[in-house]
């Protein structure tokens, strides 16, 4: 989730995102490469960030090194934005654990799990329904919908939920659909067990 780039568009946002993700000092060419901008673009933006007090420059011939100023309030906000993915996961997990009845698993997959989500990305989620709870159980359906709505409001993204019964997980993983291989391989478990741990359960 490129929160810094989404909130601060353009070259400035790309450079700030790079600097927020490291405590190391970086030279201009390294910053440009990591931010996917040209050195000339970086050379125009960095002096302005230095002037604003967000970035400090240290001469280290034959080049100069740059880093965020930790004490600067604007820089602190940028660093908070860079950690929004972790904060989102923690809050989604907290809310999922409060569901009654409890989900066997809630697993985020897709671009968010890979750290590639942008402002327009969906939040893709697999929710494993516990054994003995019917799909049309009103209490369960309400709890799941409340969680989905909360996740959508918190992230600002559309939340796509795939709901499966715990007893069908093994069958799904044994199937040939790439979706379940992807969820099993790259999914981020925010509460409960992974699909692999549930694999041994069989559907009736």
Give 67-124 pLDDT, tens digit per residue: 999 999 999 999 888 888 888 899 999 999 999 999 999 999 998 888 777 778 899 9
- pLDDT computed for residue 134 by the predictor: 92
Give 136-190 pLDDT, tens digit per residue: 999 999 999 999 999 999 988 899 999 999 999 999 998 878 999 999 999 999 9
pLDDT band per the 50, 70, 90 thresholds, residue 8: confident
Give 15-44 pLDDT, tens digit per residue: 999 999 898 999 999 999 999 999 999 999
User: Could you tell me the maximum CA-CA distance found in the chain, to the nearest angstrom?
Assistant: 70
Q: What is the mean pLDDT of residues 40-51?
A: 96
Q: Give all domains of the chain, ordered by start, each with its CATH number.
A: 3-81 (1.10.10.10), 84-198 (3.30.460.10)
- The answer to whether the beta carbons of residues 79 and 41 sit under 8 Å apart is no
Query: E strands within the chain?
Result: 26-27, 55-60, 63-68, 105-109, 123-129, 159-165, 188-192
- pLDDT computed for residue 203 by the predictor: 44
């Amino acid at each position: 989730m490129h929160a810094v780039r989404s909130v601060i568009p353009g070259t400035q946002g790309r450079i700030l995102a790079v600097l927020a993700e490291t405590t190391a000092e970086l030279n201009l060419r390294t910053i440009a490469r990591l931010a996917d901008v040209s050195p000339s673009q970086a050379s125009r933006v960095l002096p302005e960030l230095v002037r604003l007090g967000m970035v400090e420059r240290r001469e280290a011939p034959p080049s100069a090194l740059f880093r965020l100023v930790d004490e600067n309030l604007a820089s602190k906000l940028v660093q908070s934005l860079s950690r929004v993915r972790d904060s989102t996961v923690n809050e989604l997990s907290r809310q999922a654990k409060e569901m009654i009845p409890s989900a066997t698993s809630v697993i985020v997959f897709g671009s968010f799990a890979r750290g590639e989500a942008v402002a327009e990305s969906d939040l893709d989620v697999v929710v494993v329904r516990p054994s003995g709870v019917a799909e049309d159980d009103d209490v369960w359906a309400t709890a799941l919908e409340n969680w989905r709505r909360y996740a959508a409001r918190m992230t600002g993204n559309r939340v796509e939920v795939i709901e499966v019964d715990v007893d069908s997980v093994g069958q799904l993983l044994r199937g040939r659909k790439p979706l379940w291989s992807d969820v099993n391989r790259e999914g981020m478990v925010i509460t409960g067990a992974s699909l692999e741990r549930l694999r041994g359960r069989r559907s009736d």
